[in-house]
Every structure is written in structure tokens, then in C-alpha cells.
Amino acid sequence: MFGASAPAAAAPGNGVIEYGEFVLWEHSNYGGALYDSNGNLANYSGYFFVNSGTQLNDRASSIANYHQTRSLRTYQHANYTYPYISVLPYGQASGNVSWAYYSLGSFNDNLSSHLFF
């Protein structure tokens, strides 16, 4: 796994993993290009992995939450529409729910929005 930088001024979409961010990777096992987001995103359409020509929508294959206190859900459809994957705060895991997923099963190349709680 990757470490995170101090949250001095977390900047989304800069390709640097910082605390407070939800990170999506193009490939499983946190591989390929990534997109780092520090807020809710209702529709991945129109976004691209950082320094990549690959669209973010329906392309993520692994994910991790670097927010230390907030959980989130990432959804198969835009506008926070079910089904979703539950993601715990940074470093936490409980049963099948974790802060990071190295592969996404049926959600692979299907995620389209995410919402922090």
C-alpha cells in the first residue's frame, strides 16, 4: 500500500495521495493510473485518471479511503445510485468491509460516484 502525505492542503486530482482523500486506481492491486478525490463526486463522467487519457467512469479496479474519520460509499451508478461498496475510514476493517479493496469483484470497471458520510 501507499502511505499518505500530511493534510497541509490536500488537493484533489493532483495525483498525490493525501489524508482526507478517496483514491481510485485504474487496475487491481492499486496499479496503473490513479484519481484522488477529497469530496463527494456525483458522476465520474468527464473525469480522467491523473496524467492519463483513461476515463474515470466505469474504469476503477481498486480503491482506498485515506480519510481518517469518515466512511464512504462508492456506487455502481451516477448520483449515488445503488448498488454500492461500503468503505471504512483509513486503516479500519470489519468483517468483509474495509478501508481498501485491492479488487472489486462485480463492481470492477463499474463505479460511477462516491459519497462521504
Give residues in contact with Ca ion (CB under 5 A). 11, 14, 16, 18, 36, 59, 61, 109
Grid cell 480503491 in the structure block, residue: 63
Instruction: Select the residue whose beta carbon is closest to Ca ion and give its number.
Output: 61
Smallest separation (angstroms) from Ca ion to the CB of 57: 11
For residue 96, with 0-12 CB atoms within 10 Å meaning exposed, 13-18 middle and 19 or more buried, which class applies?
exposed
- Return the number of the residue (98 or 111) whose C-beta is nearest Ca ion: 111
Nearest to 31 by CA among 68, 73, 60: 60
Smallest separation (angstroms) from Ca ion to the CB of 61: 4
3-state helix vs strand vs coil in the chain, percent to 5: 5, 40, 60
Edge-to-edge strands of the sheet including 93-94? 93-94, 97-98, 81-87, 72-77, 113-116
Smallest separation (angstroms) from Ca ion to the CB of 94: 26
Q: Measure the CA–CA gap between 112 and 62, rounded to whole angstroms.
A: 13
Smallest separation (angstroms) from Ca ion to the CB of 26: 5
- Return the number of the residue (87 or 95) whose C-beta is nearest Ca ion: 87
- Return the number of the residue (57 or 98) whose C-beta is nearest Ca ion: 57
- Return the number of the residue (69 or 95) whose C-beta is nearest Ca ion: 69
